[in-house]
Amino acid sequence: MIKQEVVNQIKKAENIVPYKLRADLLFQKQIFNNKTYYVVKDPLGLTYCRLPQAEAFLAGLFDGKRSAEEIAQNYNKYFPHKMISAQNVLQFLNLLVSRNLVILPTDVLLSKIPRRRDSFFQLLVGFFLKIFFIKLPLIHPSRWLDRIVRSAWWLWSPQGVVITICFWIWTLFFLFLHRSAFDTNQIQFFSAQNIFFLYIATAIDKTLHEFGHATTTRRFGGEIHEMGVGFFFFIPVGYVDASDSWIITDKKARIFIAAAGVYTELIIASVAAHLWILFPLGMAKNLAFNLMVLASVTTLFFNLNPLMKFDGYYVLVDLLEIPNLREKAFAYCTAKIQDWLLGYKNPQLLKMKVNKAKGWIFFVYSTLALCYMFYLIHSLGKVLFNGFKQVGLENIGAALSFFVVMAFVGAVVMKVFLAPLLSAHFFPGFSQTLKKRLKGFGIGLIVLCILLVFPCREKVKTVAVVRSQLGQNVASADGGVVKEIWVRSGQHVKAGQALLRLDNDRVEMDLQLARMDLAMKRIDFSSFGYSSRKSEGKEKESAPMRSQDLQATRKRFDLALKRKEELMLKSTIDGVLINPDIESIKGKYFRPGETILKIRNLERYYFIVPLTQAETRIVFPGAEVKGIWISSGKIFHTVVQKIGQKMVERSEIPPGLLIPYGGKIPVIPVTLKEQQEKNPYVFAFIPLSKEDQSLILEDMRAKLIIKGKRTVLAEKLYRFFTTLLISRQED
């Protein structure tokens, strides 16, 4: 059927078809199944369609000057085996109009067709594009691009590519050699001081990126229609209209052109890396650093990422030979899900004719792209939340970020369900299957609801370190060799109980000397009364002195005796000997002050567990705890004794808690530290179980599962998702 509007147009203009094939369309010949086709690309809409040779010829006859009869005659001259009538010409015109491949000359368009008003959104986009993307075109770029391509031909040779790749690898090695430069680097990438350098670096980097596309397009014979400098959000960037690249028949060339931007940027990053290392401190060094990061990190993450419609996507499209991969993949998966869930046969799917391999590609691509989009949306939500949080509007931020994520999920769900549900009105047959499916869903929903109110427990999984509140490190002031031991590893001892005896020759000798000294002094003192009378006056004078001397000697003896007695070591507390190898220390020498035995009161042994604010609402005194020693894998049970009232700063937490599986204690970045210190923890004290007293060492670590308050599954899930989506620190 011919649109009435089109027919009217033609009647008014005395049978002359005013429509004209668009001059900006690009035609490319292709052989497919031994037939000649023309791929027609619309560079404005960025869409393309395939026309058989005869139709492509017919399309070319629409020049706005011929009548339908003339067009038919012209066509029949060249394709006499497929004669067509003027009516057929108008039917074909309908197709061209619907595909937007023909235009009305401006005057005809303005005078005869009522103008469709742009939507507000389109106007807004146009307005912003005008403001934020100002183009300053260069004239005849192809000519001087050619000169570059001719003089630098070797860059596109296999040798050139190999040399470039070697240069990249060398740069990585070079950076590895100078890795200390990263530690001493003072540049904060997203700081206010750095914005200027970031700005300059972006301009240089993105201009050269486009330049890479442009020269490579010329190298493979594509035309550059337009090239110049644009200001995107006031950042000057080069731009290139390399729409010709898709029309190049050589697939490899197309891949090269798409990858050329990233390729160029990686060369820039490599050069910048060398400059950054070699330059002295100053502006040039800063600029080189920015350029290096920008041209490597952002490029690899954004441009080469095939999940967005950037360069990487077009490389992938050409590699897989699936044009419009993204649209097709989404359409295919939507239709498949509609079929599986609702039994709805999407007419699009029937048209697509997808084989198994392609189906898998579509499925994998859609899943990854959807996850990636969700990640971006989620990040956006986080940015919103943090932005609002800083101005004190936390609740609004949370609501907004939740809304953004939900809107995305809602849009995906709508896309899947809307078409089948609407079509139920029009196809009574389908309406039956839909009813059945919906009934199934209803039952599923009820089961889900029952599951959601299923009682379960909140759990806190954590790693804890053993700390003792009471203990004795048994040591000797004089040291010595262990002579006798009266205790075993793991034995209970009482306060005052003798543990072992040391042998120390020096103490032994000192005692002998002191004893002899004392004996001498005693004899001396007792013989005093019998000395000659002549010296009586003198003797009387020295009597207190002698007595004092004897006292001092006695004291020295007592001290030596005490030292000797102290070689027998005793426990000062009730507790358990926790050294693993007490039997083996017999005959071993211990230095003065060196710990020989460790006694710990296990009733005073605790796990201290840092809890976040959210976790304190779940854990309560008396909560059951299941633990597993990290060193031995042994399982034990205990209960939470109390929960501290005092907030503790992160710095008070033993470093052993920060490394769940052993290894070096990590250095926490300053920013993270500050953030964590704003969210203080509370310690829970968990005593060790009595049956597990054997051989526990301080600082031993265990994984603990604390069984918290009773709850229902729904609440648990809700808590899980809110902490996942919004922020770990919800208070």
Residues near Zn ion (CB under 5 A) are 261, 311
CB of 350 to Zn ion, least distance (A): 36
Closer residue to Zn ion, CB minimum distance, 311 or 458: 311
Give the integer Cα–Cα distance in Å for 307 and 199. Answer: 26
CB of 46 to Zn ion, least distance (A): 15
CB of 209 to Zn ion, least distance (A): 6
In the chain, the N- to C-terminal Cα span, in Å, equals 66
Closer residue to Zn ion, CB minimum distance, 297 or 447: 297
CB of 268 to Zn ion, least distance (A): 13
CB of 221 to Zn ion, least distance (A): 19
Closer residue to Zn ion, CB minimum distance, 309 or 492: 309
Give the integer Cα–Cα distance in Å for 189 and 187. Answer: 6
CB of 252 to Zn ion, least distance (A): 18
Closer residue to Zn ion, CB minimum distance, 239 or 607: 239
Closer residue to Zn ion, CB minimum distance, 261 or 627: 261
CB of 202 to Zn ion, least distance (A): 14
Half-sphere exposure of 97 (CA within 13 A, CB side): 18
Closer residue to Zn ion, CB minimum distance, 311 or 692: 311
Give the integer Cα–Cα distance in Å for 57 and 36. Answer: 12
CB of 377 to Zn ion, least distance (A): 24
Asked if 53 contacts 14 with a C-beta cutoff of 8 angstroms, the reply is no
Q: Going by C-beta distance under 8 Å and a sequence separation of 6 or more, which residues neighbour residue 232?
A: 132, 133
CB of 254 to Zn ion, least distance (A): 13
Q: Going by C-beta distance under 8 Å and a sequence separation of 6 or more, which residues neighbour residue 685?
A: 606, 607, 608, 609, 640, 641, 642, 643, 644
Closer residue to Zn ion, CB minimum distance, 315 or 416: 315
CB of 295 to Zn ion, least distance (A): 12
CB of 368 to Zn ion, least distance (A): 21
Closer residue to Zn ion, CB minimum distance, 261 or 479: 261
CA 268 centroid distance within chain: 26
CB of 214 to Zn ion, least distance (A): 10
Give the integer Cα–Cα distance in Å for 112 and 477. Answer: 112
Closest CA to 315 of 217, 264, 246: 246
CB of 366 to Zn ion, least distance (A): 24
Closer residue to Zn ion, CB minimum distance, 201 or 405: 201
Give me 618's structure tokens. Answer: 């779940």
CB of 198 to Zn ion, least distance (A): 19
Give the integer Cα–Cα distance in Å for 42 and 102. Answer: 11
Closer residue to Zn ion, CB minimum distance, 302 or 718: 302
Q: What is the DSSP string of 180-237?
A: HHHHH----TTSGGGHHHHHHHHHHHHHHHHHHHHHHHHHTT----EEEEEEETTEEE
Closer residue to Zn ion, CB minimum distance, 291 or 315: 315
Q: Which residue has the CB atom at the shortest distance from Zn ion?
A: 261
CB of 712 to Zn ion, least distance (A): 52
CA 403 centroid distance within chain: 22
Order of strands, sheet of 471-475, starting from the edge strand that comes earlier in the sequence: 471-475, 595-600, 575-577, 492-493
Pairing of strands 492-493, 575-577: antiparallel
Tell me how many degrees the CA angle 243-249-253 measures, rounded to the nearest 5. Answer: 75
Closer residue to Zn ion, CB minimum distance, 263 or 557: 263
Closer residue to Zn ion, CB minimum distance, 205 or 311: 311
Q: State how far the alpha carbon of 511 is from the alpha carbons of 501, 549, 563, in Å.
A: 16, 18, 8
- Give the three-class secondary structure for 554: helix
Closer residue to Zn ion, CB minimum distance, 240 or 292: 240
Residue type, 499: L
Give me 398's structure tokens. Answer: 């949370």
Q: What is the DSSP string of 384-444?
A: HHHHHHHTT-HHHHHHHHHHHHHHHHHHHHHHHHHHHHHHTTT-HHHHHHHHHHHHHHHHH
Centre a 10 Å sphere on the Cβ of residue 81 and count the other Cβ atoms it contains: 6
CB of 73 to Zn ion, least distance (A): 47
Centre a 10 Å sphere on the Cβ of residue 192 and count the other Cβ atoms it contains: 7
CB of 219 to Zn ion, least distance (A): 16
Closer residue to Zn ion, CB minimum distance, 203 or 485: 203
Closest CA to 586 of 447, 483, 697: 483
Closer residue to Zn ion, CB minimum distance, 261 or 708: 261
DSSP secondary structure letter of residue 140? -
Give residue for tokens 């067709």: 113
Pairing of strands 605-611, 455-468: antiparallel
Query: If residue 276 lies in a helix (H) or strand (E), which one and from where to where?
Result: helix 251-278
Give the integer Cα–Cα distance in Å for 30 and 53. Answer: 10
Give the integer Cα–Cα distance in Å for 669 and 664. Answer: 15
Closer residue to Zn ion, CB minimum distance, 311 or 615: 311
Asked if 499 contacts 597 with a C-beta cutoff of 8 angstroms, the reply is yes
Give me 353's structure tokens. Answer: 């004719």
CB of 197 to Zn ion, least distance (A): 22
Closer residue to Zn ion, CB minimum distance, 232 or 685: 232
Q: What is the DSSP string of 570-616?
A: E-SSSEEE--TTGGGGTT-EE-TT-EEEEEE-GGGEEEEEEE-HHHH
Q: Which residues lie across from 647 on neighbouring strands?
A: 682
Give the integer Cα–Cα distance in Å for 647 and 651. Answer: 12
